[in-house]
Amino acid sequence: MLDTKARHLVQPAVSRSASLFLKLGFTANQVTTIAFIIGVSSGLFIYIDQPIIALAALWFSGFLDIVDGTMARKTQTSSFGTVLDVSFDRLVEISVILGLAFRYPDAMWILLLLSVSIIYAMTVFLTVGAVSEKSGVKSFYYQPGLAERTEGFILFSLMIAFPSYLIAIAAVFLAVEIFTTLQRLREAAKILK
């Protein structure tokens, strides 16, 4: 929801950063890879009990993840870049979940359910994007929903920052993922008749 509704608020900083990276000779795929490396380190920092560094790594990788798309649109988008971007995003999320699960094994069961819900939500999202004739700014139809990447980062951040409430926050995250999946399935039923 925030990715769709509030993107215009951060876009000026994103555009300036994209122009800077392009001026320095970086490609969009290189920035995607840098964002991935920084993002997956967040799981390690969670595991070794460095939550501030984990949060900084997670959010900086998220910022770079927006920058790389803007870079691609300023130069030339590629299908392979989309594959890298979407798959690396999931690996960053997996890293956070694994870091939390190994650091707080009592919460492993809810984190497993959360993982399953994210897998299914992304399956619906990507399938609708692949079969839909609609298009948008991105290289495939980006189906909006209650839970988009920013909401996920906020909920992951709350789990990292407040581990004593990890199970409760993960349960809320699970409910949000289920709601979003149902929301996207309902829209898919309308647009894919």
pLDDT tens string for the chain (193 positions)?
A: 655 666 677 788 889 999 999 999 999 999 999 999 999 999 999 999 999 999 999 999 999 999 999 999 999 888 899 899 999 999 999 999 999 999 999 999 999 999 999 999 999 988 888 887 665 555 556 667 777 888 999 999 999 999 999 999 999 999 999 999 999 899 888 888 7
Q: Give the span between the Cα atoms of 153 and 62, in whole angstroms.
A: 8
- Backbone dihedral angles phi then psi of residue 78, each to the nearest 5 degrees: -140, 150
Residues 6+ apart with CB under 8 A from 27: 71, 75
Tokens standing for residue 147: 């839970």
Tokens standing for residue 108: 């492993």
CB atoms within 10 A of CB 193: 5
**pTM, to two decimals:** 0.88
Q: Give the span between the Cα atoms of 173 and 159, in whole angstroms.
A: 10
Q: So where are the chain's domains?
A: 2-191
Longest Cα–Cα distance of the chain, Å, equals 49
Q: How far is CA 29 from CA 9, 18, 137, 158, in A?
A: 24, 12, 18, 29
Q: What dotted CATH number matches 2-191? A: 1.20.120.1760
Amino acid letter for position 162: F
